[in-house]
């Protein structure tokens, strides 16, 4: 069915050699920065985790824009909406699991105390 | 003025098949990313539960992981270049780019298999602790995706050779490139959460 619709107006060139090269350069730069931050004392030690998360999110953005061509074009609205929904679910799954499990851990009785109660 | 013309064009008729196919495949990729997020969450919860066994600090070699990252990034780049060359009907450039994509992907897979084999040989297999179970299922699932991607790549290159750069072949190549780039995004998360944070 789909095959019979002629491909008029095929916007073939999504991206160019330049966009891919810029994307690769950004990705390499951000990866290098992540390694640097994790291996040296460049950042204040308690802030390293936050720094790594920020660098990772920035690199994911670079991949989305330069490699997957998720942008602001009119034919891209649906892709962006689907991405927003996906990000919502991922955040719920990740933060929800961490939050719930951390609370369970702090509120759980130590194993020895449970054994005491069963006597 | 110009954007208005483009807008009415898009609104007046059905979207090009290529756009629709890419949208459908994008939805699949997002569902795949949600599958990964469940494993990421379980890894984050279990990463401290080493059961007296080795922790990530003692196990991960960042030099090795850096080489894996470079393989994946450059294979993504060559994959994108290959997609551009098939759009311009430059067949030899396309075969060269996708050949490089395959070689780099296979190099990544080889590095990962050697890492896994080394861990198992040191007695740090998936059955050692909850941390290692979560580690092997998360990183292993990414490796399984790369393996599937390499098989898919071989199939598509064969199809391009047999059928030429027709519309449907190019749409399949577009879907493959989206898949390959999405695996990179997941690797960025893996690198940060598992390796860089784990090795500290």
Q: pLDDT digits over B165-198, tens only?
A: 999 999 999 999 999 999 999 999 999 999 999 8
Q: List CB contacts of B49: < 8 A, sequence separation 6 or more.
A: B129, B130, B131
For residue B15, the surrounding DSSP H or E stretch is none
Residue B138 with chain A: CB contacts under 8 Å: none
Q: Is B95 helix (H, G, I), strand (E, B) or coil?
A: helix
Crossing angle of helices B130-163 and B167-190, rounded to 10°:
160
Q: Residue A117: which pLDDT band, with cuts at 50, 70 and 90?
A: confident
B 84-143 residues with CB < 8 A to A: 84, 87
User: CA nearest A97 in B: which residue?
Assistant: B41
| B41 contacts A94? CB cut-off 8 A | yes
3-state SS of chain A?
CHHHCCCCCCCCCCCCHHHHHHHHHHHHHHHHHHHHHHHCCCCCHHHHHHHHHHHHHHHHHHHHHHHCCCCCCHHHHHHHHHHHHHHHHHHHHHHHHHHHHHHHHHHCCCHHHHHHHHC
User: Taking 70 as the threshold, does the pLDDT of residue B12 lie above it?
Assistant: no
Q: List CB contacts of A71: < 8 A, sequence separation 6 or more.
A: A65
User: CA nearest A84 in B: which residue?
Assistant: B30
Residue A89 with chain B: CB contacts under 8 Å: 34, 37
Residue A64 with chain B: CB contacts under 8 Å: 185
pTM across the whole model: 0.88
Report the pLDDT value the prediction gives residue A109, as an integer from 0 to 100. 72
Nearest to B103 by CA among B139, B67, B79, B75: B75
For residue B159, the surrounding DSSP H or E stretch is helix B130-163
Sign of CA dihedral B135, B64, B189, B30: negative
Report the pLDDT value the prediction gives residue A13, as an integer from 0 to 100. 53
Average pLDDT rounded to a whole number, residues B93-104 = 97
Residue B81 with chain A: CB contacts under 8 Å: 17, 20
Average pLDDT rounded to a whole number, residues A48-64 = 94
Report the pLDDT value the prediction gives residue A8, as an integer from 0 to 100. 40
Mutate to test the interface with B, among A4, A23, A29, A31 (most CBs of B within 10 A): A31
Q: Residue B128: which pLDDT band, with cuts at 50, 70 and 90?
A: very high
CA distance B94 to B97: 5
| B197 contacts A49? CB cut-off 8 A | yes
- Across the interface, of A48, A90, A97, the residue whose CB is closest to B33 is A90
Report the pLDDT value the prediction gives residue B96, as an integer from 0 to 100. 97
Q: Residue B11: which pLDDT band, with cuts at 50, 70 and 90?
A: low
Nearest to A19 by CA among B184, B183, B172, B80: B80
Residue B189 with chain A: CB contacts under 8 Å: 56, 60
Please tell me if residue B19 touches chain A, with a CB cutoff of 8 Å: yes
């Amino acid at each position: 069915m789909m095959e019979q619709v002629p491909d008029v107006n095929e916007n073939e060139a999504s991206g160019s050699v330049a966009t891919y090269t810029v994307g690769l350069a950004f990705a390499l730069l951000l990866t290098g920065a992540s390694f640097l931050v994790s291996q040296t004392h460049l950042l204040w030690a308690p802030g390293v985790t936050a720094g790594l998360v920020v660098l990772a999110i920035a690199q994911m953005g670079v991949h989305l824009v330069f490699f997957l061509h998720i942008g602001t074009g009119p034919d891209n609205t649906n892709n962006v909406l689907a991405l927003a929904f996906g990000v919502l679910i991922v955040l719920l799954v990740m933060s929800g699991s961490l939050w719930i499990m951390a609370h369970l851990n702090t509120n759980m009785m130590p194993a020895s105390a449970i054994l005491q109660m069963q006597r | 003025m110009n954007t208005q013309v483009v807008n009415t064009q898009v609104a007046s008729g059905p979207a090009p098949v290529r756009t629709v196919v890419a949208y459908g495949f994008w939805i699949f990729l997002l569902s795949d990313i949600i599958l990964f997020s469940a494993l990421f969450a379980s890894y984050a919860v279990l990463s401290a539960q080493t059961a007296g066994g080795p922790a990530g600090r003692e196990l991960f070699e960042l030099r090795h992981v850096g080489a894996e990252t470079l393989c994946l990034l450059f294979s993504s780049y060559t994959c994108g270049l290959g997609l551009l060359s098939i759009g311009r009907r430059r067949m030899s450039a396309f075969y060269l780019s996708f050949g490089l994509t395959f070689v780099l992907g296979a190099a990544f897979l080889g590095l990962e298999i050697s890492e896994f084999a080394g861990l198992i040989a040191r007695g740090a297999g998936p059955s050692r602790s909850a941390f290692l179970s979560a580690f092997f299922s998360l990183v292993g699932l990414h490796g399984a995706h790369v393996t599937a991607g390499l098989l898919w790549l071989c199939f598509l290159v064969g199809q391009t050779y047999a059928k030429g750069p027709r519309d449907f072949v190019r749409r399949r190549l577009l879907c493959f490139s989206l898949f390959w780039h999405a695996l990179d995004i997941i690797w960025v998360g893996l690198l940060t959460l598992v390796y860089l944070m784990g090795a500290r």
